Amino acid sequence: MKVLFATSEMYPLIKTGGLADVSGALPQALSNLGVDIKVILPNYADLKNEHIDTKLSIGLVEILGQNVEIFKTRLINSKLEIYLVDHPTFSARKGNPYMGPDKNPWHDNPDRFGLFCRAVVALSAGGFNEDWRPDIIHNNDWQTGLIPALLSESELPKKIFTIHNLAYQGVFDRPTFERLGLPWTLWREDALEYWGNMSFMKSGIVFSDTVTTVSPTYAEEIKTKEYGYGLDGVLKNKGKNLKGILNGIGEDWNPATDQQIDEHYTPNNMGGKYNTKRIIQKHLGLPENPNTPLIIHIGRLVEQKGIDLLIQAIEALKDRDIQFVILGTGENRFEQTLIKLASQNPNKIAVHIGYDEQLAHRLEAAGDAFIMPSRFEPCGLNQLYSLKYGTIPIVHRVGGLADSVIHSDDETIANGTATGVLIDFLDVPAIIWAIDYFIKLYENTEVLSKIQINGMNRQHEWSISANEYKKIYLSLAQEH
Ligand code: ADP
Ligand code: GLC
């Protein structure tokens, strides 16, 4: 059974969010389980070449009048093979994979990712000089959504499509559909057509044998009007072929071994965590007080993550003895408000606008709590990292957050399952309530330490999730 994993980002080569973490860890975990799997992604200008071996060309193919080359390489220190699809719209464009310096999506995104999809299809059909041909193609998010449609005429390879975020659908107008050279048979309501436009995401869902998403609760939520973004009906139609599998935690997120943090620690010896808190307070210019609760937030500064509500809650709490640290990039309006808030309250609020992988690790290690008031969250990774780092997650009860954090009340504290604080109905007062609730837990060191250790001992290894994907692959292979 050979599997090709198609993705638009992969840690440590290129990352904008959780999809990169998943693509960096899941194929490796599947390979460790004996699956013959290779990854394919675009050869971006900003791809971190120091993490891969020499790139060898496996050929050049003309697709829609454009020359597309594929390189083959390997991650250093790993046997996992990687194909890189090369075209100037990827390899001659620096910066974010999806948007220009003005933060607007690249105007030709459908063309770029349409070409990527066609290159994947050509490779899988033996179009480049490559003997290895997949029995299964595992696609991820809208950027890969045309692959199943382009392969819909043939039963093989089998197609699996993972939705990481239904809010980003790759919807484009009809002239784009025409420009992409897609057959008219695909312009149907039960195919790519979506309210007079075309949708890459819908294409991925409709034409795949199995659709998965990244948590069981999100798999249910997306079948409702509220979270379905117009695709709830299409998703309901998938029946048993829509499944939710919770993401795992990559090996480099472990406070006992993490190369990027200031001091290591374990559930039995938490000293390193408390030292790290002091080091980070100093680093960020906050008063070095071990007793002041340090609440962190890391993420894309967009409405999905509830950052607008969090900003209002922080404003309301700024005179309390609490420190907040926010690391993120995103919409200008949120970046500007946060910078202003921090400059007005330098002893309480520290803000770092930018993308900083190491700081993300150091903050997870330093924090007392991690706040994630997402409006919706397909899985969410930072709450998982927080559990592992003994940093109590304060989260909205949706999607993967609901599936990974257990609210701390008398019962769960007594039976040893409590791991965090859950908000049932999200608004600003509810966030303030949740922070107050956390502070009460924080003040009882015995209870706090129990909750921390419960979280640190939770099992979220990627091998567990990878086993679920392997079962799907096996059943698809058997179907054939
Ligand atoms: P999403 O994929 O929706 O952005 P996830 O929680 O699944 O959310 O994953 C986000 C990933 O990106 C995490 O690994 C998180 O640490 C990382 N991340 C987000 N913003 C930043 C940032 N500004 N600096 C460093 N890492 C970040
Ligand atoms: C998306 C989701 C996030 C999920 C990640 C990886 O970006 O927003 O919740 O954890 O994909 O699956």
Q: In testing the pocket of ligand 2, which one of 379, 386, 465 has its CB within 8 Å of the most ligand atoms?
A: 379
357 close to ligand 1 (CB < 6 Angstrom): yes
303 close to ligand 1 (CB < 6 Angstrom): no
Q: How many other β-carbons are positioned within 10 Å of the β-carbon of residue 22? A: 27
The pLDDT, as a whole number, for residue 129 is 85
Q: How many other β-carbons are positioned within 10 Å of the β-carbon of residue 5? A: 29
**Atom number, ligand 2, closest to the C-alpha of residue 381:** 10
Q: What are the pLDDT digits (tens) for 384-438?
A: 999 999 999 999 999 999 999 999 999 999 999 999 999 999 999 999 999 999 9
Residue whose structure tokens are 């709450």 = 383
What fold is seen in the domain 2-248+462-479? Rossmann fold (3.40.50)
Q: Are 217 and 223 in contact (CB under 8 A)?
A: no
Å from CA of 19 to ligand 2 middle: 6
436 close to ligand 1 (CB < 6 Angstrom): no
Largest CA distance in the chain: 67
* Calpha distance 52→10 (Å, rounded): 12
Stated pTM of the model? 0.97
Domain made up of 271-457: CATH architecture = 3-Layer(aba) Sandwich (3.40)
- Helices 18-32, 462-479: crossing angle, 10 deg rounding: 70
The pLDDT, as a whole number, for residue 337 is 98
Nearest CA to ligand 2 atom 11: 164
Q: In testing the pocket of ligand 2, which one of 245, 381, 395 has its CB within 8 Å of the most ligand atoms?
A: 381
3-state per-residue secondary structure call for 300-317: EECHHHCHHHHHHHHHHH
| Amino acid in position 289 | N
Q: In testing the pocket of ligand 1, which one of 140, 258, 381, 465 has its CB within 8 Å of the most ligand atoms?
A: 381
What are the two backbone dihedrals, phi and then psi, of residue 28, each rounded to the nearest 5 degrees? -65, -45
**Atom number, ligand 2, closest to the C-alpha of residue 399:** 9
Å from CA of 382 to ligand 1 middle: 7
Contacts of 278 (CB under 8 A, 6+ apart): 288, 290
Which residues lie across from 372 on neighbouring strands? 395
Same CATH topology for 2-248+462-479 and 271-457: the answer is yes
* Calpha distance 350→362 (Å, rounded): 14
3-state per-residue secondary structure call for the chain: CEEEEECCCECCCECCCHHHHHHHHHHHHHHHCCCEEEEEEECCCCCCHHHECCCEEEEEEEECCEEEEEEEEEECCCCCEEEEEECHHHHCCCCCCCECCCCCECCCHHHHHHHHHHHHHHHHCCCCCCCCCCCEEEEECHHHCHHHHHCCCCCCCEEEEEECCCCCCCEECHHHHHHCCCCHHHCCCCCCEECCEEEHHHHHHHCCCEEEECCHHHHHHCCCHHHHCCCHHHHHHCHHHEEECCCCECCCCCCCCCCCCCCCCECCECHHHHHHHHHHHHHCCCCCCCCCCEEEEEEEECHHHCHHHHHHHHHHHCCCCCEEEEEEEECHHHHHHHHHHHHHCCCCEEEEECCCHHHHHHHHHHCCEEEECCCCCCCCCHHHHHHHCCCEEEEECCHHHHHHCCECCHHHHHCCCCCEEEECCCCHHHHHHHHHHHHHHHHCHHHHHHHHHHHHCCCCEHHHHHHHHHHHHHHHHHHC
The pLDDT, as a whole number, for residue 479 is 81
**Atom number, ligand 2, closest to the C-alpha of residue 378:** 9
Residue ranges of the domains in the chain? 2-248+462-479, 271-457
Q: How do strand 36-42 and strand 56-63 relate by DSSP bridges?
A: unpaired
Question: 196-219 as b/e, with b when 16 or more CB fall inside 10 Å?
Answer: eebbbbbbbbbbbbbbbbbbbbbb
Å from CA of 328 to ligand 1 middle: 8
Tell me which ligand sits closest to the C-alpha of residue 301: 1
Q: How many other β-carbons are positioned within 10 Å of the β-carbon of residue 37? A: 26
Tell me which ligand sits closest to the C-alpha of residue 296: 1
The pLDDT, as a whole number, for residue 235 is 98
The pLDDT, as a whole number, for residue 378 is 98
C-alpha of 164 from chain center: 7
Q: What are the pLDDT digits (tens) for 167-181?
A: 999 999 999 999 999
User: Which burial class, exposed, middle or buried, applies to 316 when counting CB atoms under 10 A from its CB (0-12, 13-18, 19+)?
Assistant: middle
Nearest CA to ligand 2 atom 7: 18
* Calpha distance 8→13 (Å, rounded): 11
132 close to ligand 1 (CB < 6 Angstrom): no
Å from CA of 329 to ligand 1 middle: 10
Å from CA of 63 to ligand 2 middle: 31
Q: Are 372 and 394 in contact (CB under 8 A)?
A: yes
Pocket of ligand 2 (CB under 6 A): 17-19, 22, 164-165, 214, 247, 377-381, 400
Cα 177–183–188 angle (5° rounding)? 75
Mean pLDDT of successive 10-residue stretches along the chain, which has 480 residues: 98 96 98 98 98 96 96 94 98 96 95 98 92 96 98 95 97 97 96 97 98 98 97 97 97 96 97 98 98 98 98 97 97 97 98 97 98 98 98 98 98 98 98 98 97 97 97 91
The pLDDT, as a whole number, for residue 77 is 86
Q: In testing the pocket of ligand 2, which one of 247, 374, 396, 462 has its CB within 8 Å of the most ligand atoms?
A: 247
* Calpha distance 343→335 (Å, rounded): 12
* Calpha distance 165→381 (Å, rounded): 13
From residue 99, give the alpha-carbon distance in Å to each of 94, 104, 105, 169.
10, 5, 4, 15
* Calpha distance 407→421 (Å, rounded): 5
